[in-house]
A and B are shown apart, each in its own frame.
Chain A
Amino acid sequence: MSGFDQTLLDDADETVRVQLTVNGRRVACEVAPRETLVDCLRNELELTGTHAGCEMGACGACLVQLDGRAVHSCLMFAVQADGATINTIEGLSETGVIADLQAEFHRRNALQCGFCTPGMLVNAHELLSQVAQPSREEIRDALSGNYCRCTGYEAIVDAIEAVAQARDQGGGTK
C-alpha cells in the first residue's frame, strides 16, 4: 500500500488486499476501495451484528471499535482500516466485557426490534470505559448520535446508568 503507482489511476475497479485484526483474529480480504468498512464486515467477514442504517453517520447502528475507539463503520472505507484492530458487537459479546450491559438492556426492555442495539452497546461500552460514573446528562450526550425508533431512550439511559452504578460497587462483570 506504499509507493505511488501511476497505474492506480487507470484501474479504479481493482481490488485491494487488506489485513485486519477483527475480534482478536487476523483476517485478510480483497475489497474494492469503494467498499465501506460496514459492508466489508457484513459481506466479506459475515459479521452481521454491525448494522447499516442511514450510511451517513447519523444513526449510529454501524458503530464498531477501531483501535479501541467507537467509530462509524459506514463513514470509512475498508482500505483505510488496513492494519487496524477492530472489535464488533460479536467480539465484545464473546469476550464478556459487555455482558452486564447486555443483561441490563434485556432486564429493562431497553430494546424492542434490536436494530439500534449493537451501536448503543458499543457506544455505552466506550462511555463507561472513559467515564466511570457518567451523569444522565452525559449518557444522553454520548448517545446523541444513536437513533432508536422503538424505545424512546429512557430505558436505554436507565440501563447504562444502572450498569455504571453496579460496576462502581464492584458488581459488574468488568
Chain B
Amino acid sequence: MKARAFSYFRAATIDQALDAHARAGDDARFIAGGQSLVPALSLRLQAPRLLIDITHIDELRGVRRDGGYLRIGALTRHCEMLSEPLIAEFAPLLHAAAPFVAHPAIRNRGTFGGSVALADPASEFPAMTLALDAEIEIAGPSGSCRVKADDFFLDLFETALQPGELITAVYVPLFKADQRFAFDELARRRGDYALVGCGMLATFTGERVDDIRISFFSVGNTPTRVKGAEATLIGSSLEAERIAAAQAALEGDLAPPDSDEVPPAMRLHLARVLLGRMLGRLGEGA
C-alpha cells in the first residue's frame, strides 16, 4: 500500500520544525528515521498532510558529556549506539541493548529519539531510559524542559510529549565504577520484538546492592519498572533466596496483557526466568 498524499518540509533548525508543526496543527508529523512512521503511513494508520523532516537539524545530533550526564542527541542512530565509544563507556546498557533492536539496515536509519518518542512498549530503548533514570529533553513552542523517564511513559504509545513538541536529547547519568548492568530478552527469532525483555542497572558497595533499577518491556502498555522486585534486592548480595523473592515479587509488579499468542501467565513465567538469569549474572559481576 502507499501513503496518502502529503507535503514535505525539510527543517534546518528546531525553531523551524516547531513553527511548521504549529502552523499545520494536528495535521503534521515529524519524521526522523521513518522506520516506524513510514510503515504506519503506508498502511494509512496515519495520514498527516505535512511531514516535517527533522534529520537535517544539526542541533539534534551528537553525543557528548554534560556534567554528570551523557547527552545523547535525538538523531543518534541505533547503529551509532553500537559504534560510538562514549556510549560504550558511559551508557553501556544502551550499547548492550542496541544489537537487539531490529535488523542492521533498520538500525542504520532508526533514531534513539524516534524510538523514545514512539514509546512502543515492546521496544528496547524506551525501557532502558527507565532503568538508567534518564531525563528526556523536550523542546516546544513554550520553551525547553527535561522530564524524568519515570514521568515520561504514561500509557500505550502515550507520553508526556505533547503534539508538536520535539525530543531534542536524552540525558543519561554517567556509568560509574561501582555500577553493574545487564540486558537480555527472549524472542522467537533474532531481530524480532521480544516476548519479554529486561534491562537493569545496580550500584554496589562490595557485593551489596545499594540501589537497583529494573525495567521490563513487552509486558504491558508501557515500559515498566518493577519496584517490588527492586525493593527486595536492596541491601542483598544477590543470594539465591533474595533472587527468588524478587522473582516472586514480579507477580505484583507486572500485569501482562491478555493475548491469544502468549497468555499472561506464560509471559509472567518468562519474566521470572529472565530476571533470575540476569540477577545471577549481575551477582557474578556482569
Contacts and interface: CB of A to CB of B under 8 A. Distances in A.
B103 interface: yes
Contacts of A69: 79, 105, 108
Given A33-B51, A34-B6, A141-B190, A6 B109 contact: no
B5 A33 contact: yes
A70 B42 CA distance: 21
Interface in B87-104: 99, 102-104
Interface centre among B9, B20, B105 (most CB of A within 10 A): B105
B5 A140 contact: no
Contacts of B191: 141, 144-145
Contact of B8 (A16, A36, A75): A16
A2 B8 contact: no
Interface centre among B8, B79, B102, B106 (most CB of A within 10 A): B8
Interface residues of A, number: 39
B23 A34 contact: no
Contact of A9 (B3, B12, B24, B39): B24
A79 B38 CA distance: 13
B105 A60 contact: yes
A57 interface: yes
Contacts of B277: none
A77 B50 contact: no
Contacts of B79: 69
B53 interface: yes
Nearest to A76: B34
Given A71-B109, A145-B191, A34 B38 contact: no
Contacts of B3: 34, 77
Contacts of A113: none
Contacts of A1: 10
Contacts of A33: 5-8, 51
B61 interface: no
Contacts of B65: none
A126 to B, nearest CB: 7
Contacts of B23: 4, 6, 9
B7 A9 contact: yes
A51 interface: no
B1 to A, nearest CB: 7
B35 A11 contact: no
A41 interface: no
Contact of B7 (A14, A71, A74, A145): A14
Nearest to B37: A75
A130 to B, nearest CB: 9
B4 interface: yes
Nearest to A34: B3
A86 to B, nearest CB: 13
A103 B51 CA distance: 43
Interface of A: 1-2, 4, 6, 8-9, 11-14, 16, 32-34, 36, 55-57, 60, 63, 69-72, 74-77, 79-80, 82, 123, 126-127, 140-142, 144-145
Given A69-B79, A71-B105, 4 more contacts: A34-B41, A70-B108, A80-B55, A145-B103
- Which 8 interchain pairs have the tightest Cβ spacing? A145-B103, A33-B8, A144-B191, A8-B7, A69-B108, A34-B3, A70-B105, A12-B5
16 contacts: A6-B23, A9-B24, A9-B27, A11-B7, A12-B6, A34-B5, A70-B105, A72-B106, A72-B109, A75-B35, A76-B38, A76-B109, A123-B105, A141-B99, A144-B190, A145-B102
